[in-house]
């Protein structure tokens, strides 16, 4: 004889028919501040970038200037918060710890831009060749680092001078292309990555968990008689250096732990 369904059984069947709310529905019940805090733990590329594709609300929060600043050469509305027409303007407006996303398309002019606060500069393309920072002649360097910073997914090209001049802090270069003039005069040729001479740089010391030095990984360095000149700690990991004049290829797989 079949058992008569109890009231509790009927409740369970009704709950199963309704189903449970999806994870996206639950997370969307959070307020904007909570969601933005969650997004802040995501890596800018590709995770945080991908969250902006979910919906209009997530795009607004994922692109909020509290999480990162954007550089777009073609911007017309300069009143838009967190968006700047030049790298120099974005660096000046950035707060310590900010991430600056540099848009693809065209060439961004940079010249002796000093990085005096911890920043992360990232190219917005899938490949570093899609986002180019160009430094014309007459400048000592494209970017000069006086504070712990990171450069990722970018092409930096200097006509005559250093692409990157490191003076202080820990500089991390990851997944970039660094280029200088392929055939400069020998007596004018400059290293592509250079650290300041000891008389211009205080002795290396650990401050806030960071050590002064340069770390280069998954990066291609092209052109010039000298690739890297350093008087500080240097770590090279899977770095490809091309000396264009002789068409010789130098492969580095060296790891020197920063002190």
Give residue 55's pLDDT band: very low, low, confident or very high (50, 70, 90): confident
Per-residue pLDDT for 245 more than 60? no
Long-range contacts of 32-35 (CB under 8 A, 24+ apart): 32/57, 32/61, 35/61
Per-residue pLDDT for 199 more than 50? no
The whole-number average pLDDT for the span 250-254 is 41
* Residue 207 confidence (pLDDT): 39
* Residue 176 confidence (pLDDT): 93
* Residue 216 confidence (pLDDT): 87
Write down the mean pLDDT value for the chain: 75
Give residue 224's pLDDT band: very low, low, confident or very high (50, 70, 90): low
| Tokens encoding 102 | 């540099």
| Tokens encoding 88 | 């120099």
The answer for residues whose C-beta is within 8 angstroms of residue 123's C-beta and 6 or more apart is: 102, 104, 130, 131, 152, 153, 154, 155
Closest CA to 140 of 166, 119, 117, 120: 166
pLDDT of 57-83, one tens digit each? 888 887 776 678 889 887 766 666 788
Higher pLDDT, residue 226 or 175: 175
pLDDT of 162-189, one tens digit each? 889 998 889 999 999 998 866 555 545 5
The CATH label, of 3.20.20.100, 2.160.20.10, 3.40.50.1970, 3.40.50.360, for the domain at 69-252 is 2.160.20.10
Q: Which of 13-17, 163-167, 240-244 has the lowest mean pLDDT?
A: 13-17
* Residue 200 confidence (pLDDT): 42
User: What b/e string do you get for 115-147 counting C-beta neighbours within 10 Å, with b at 16 or more?
Assistant: bebbbbbbbbbeebeebbbbbeeebebbbbbbb
Query: Is 99 within 8 Å of 68 (Cβ atoms)?
Result: yes
* Residue 7 confidence (pLDDT): 63
The whole-number average pLDDT for the span 85-93 is 94
pTM: 0.71
Ordered by start, the domain boundaries in the chain are 23-67, 69-252
């Amino acid at each position: 004889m079949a058992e008569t369904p109890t009231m509790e059984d009927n409740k369970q069947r009704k709950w199963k028919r309704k189903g449970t709310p999806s994870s996206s529905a639950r997370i969307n019940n959070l307020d904007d501040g909570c969601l933005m805090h969650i997004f802040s733990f995501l890596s800018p590329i590709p995770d945080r970038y991908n969250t902006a594709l979910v919906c209009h609300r997530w795009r607004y929060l994922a692109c909020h200037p509290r999480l990162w600043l954007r550089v777009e050469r073609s911007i017309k509305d300069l009143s838009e918060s967190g968006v700047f027409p030049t790298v120099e303007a974005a660096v000046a407006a950035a707060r310590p710890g900010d991430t600056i996303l540099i848009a693809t398309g065209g060439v961004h002019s940079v010249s002796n831009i000093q990085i005096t606060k911890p920043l992360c500069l990232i190219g917005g393309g899938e490949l570093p060749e899609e986002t180019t920072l160009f430094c014309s002649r007459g400048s000592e360097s494209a970017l000069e680092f006086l504070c712990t910073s990171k450069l990722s997914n970018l092409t930096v090209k200097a006509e005559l001078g250093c692409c990157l001049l490191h003076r202080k802090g820990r500089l991390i270069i990851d997944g970039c292309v660094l280029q200088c003039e392929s055939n400069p005069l020998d007596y004018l040729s400059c290293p592509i990555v250079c650290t300041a001479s000891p008389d211009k740089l205080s002795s290396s010391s650990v401050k806030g968990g960071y050590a002064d030095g340069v770390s280069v990984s998954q990066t291609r360095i092209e052109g010039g008689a000298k690739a890297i000149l350093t008087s500080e700690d240097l770590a090279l990991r899977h770095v490809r250096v091309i000396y264009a004049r002789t068409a010789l290829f130098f492969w580095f797989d060296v790891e020197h732990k920063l002190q």
